[in-house]
């Protein structure tokens, strides 16, 4: 007789499916990159006057685009081909992240840009989240 846990299967069973495993790993790497960008933006502001407020504003800038662009992303996902929308948004994310990296390495990253929702790279996926549903 099989136990209940054997009937339900292993918690790792979904990772045996290749496409799910690839998607899960890509999401993991993407989330780690997002966390690194948020911590990096906060780190740039630690030595500024009123650092505690500025660090909180970075978190706000990380969340605000999700609130502002979620409906826009849904409309775009319903209007355009989702595959191409994902490719365009991810390409823009790459370019924005590359620009922020170059500015930071060159020492030209203004603190105001690191807390601006327009410069907040993690906020842009809110445009393509509806395409994944």
What pLDDT digit, counting tens, does each position of 54-89 carry?
888 877 877 787 788 888 888 888 898 888 888 888
- Measured CA to CA, the distance from residue 97 to residue 122 in angstroms comes to 9
Q: Are 76 and 107 in contact (CB under 8 A)?
A: no
Kindly state the tokens that stand for 3: 């136990």
- The CB-based long-range contact list for 28-34 (8 Å cut-off, 24+ gap) reads 30/125, 33/97, 34/121, 34/122, 34/125
Note the pLDDT tens digit of each residue in 82-114.
Answer: 888 888 888 887 888 788 788 888 988 776 665
Q: Check: pTM over 0.75? Answer yes or no.
A: no
Q: Which single residue is written with the structure tokens 């009123």?
A: 50
Kindly state the tokens that stand for 116: 């601006």
Domain boundaries, the chain: 14-132
The conformation of residue 17, written as its DSSP 8-state character, comes to S
């Amino acid at each position: 007789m099989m136990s209940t846990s054997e009937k339900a299967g292993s918690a790792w069973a979904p990772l045996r499916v290749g496409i799910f495993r690839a998607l899960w790993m890509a999401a993991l790497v993407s989330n780690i990159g997002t966390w690194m960008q948020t911590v990096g933006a906060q780190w740039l502001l630690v030595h500024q006057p009123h650092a505690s407020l500025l660090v909180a504003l970075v978190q706000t800038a990380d969340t605000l685009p999700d609130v502002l662009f979620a409906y826009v992303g849904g409309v775009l996902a319903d209007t355009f081909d989702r595959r191409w929308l994902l490719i365009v948004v991810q390409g823009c994310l790459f370019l924005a992240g590359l620009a922020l990296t170059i500015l930071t390495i060159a020492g030209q990253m203004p603190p105001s840009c690191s807390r601006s929702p327009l410069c907040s790279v993690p906020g842009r996926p809110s445009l393509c989240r509806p395409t994944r549903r």
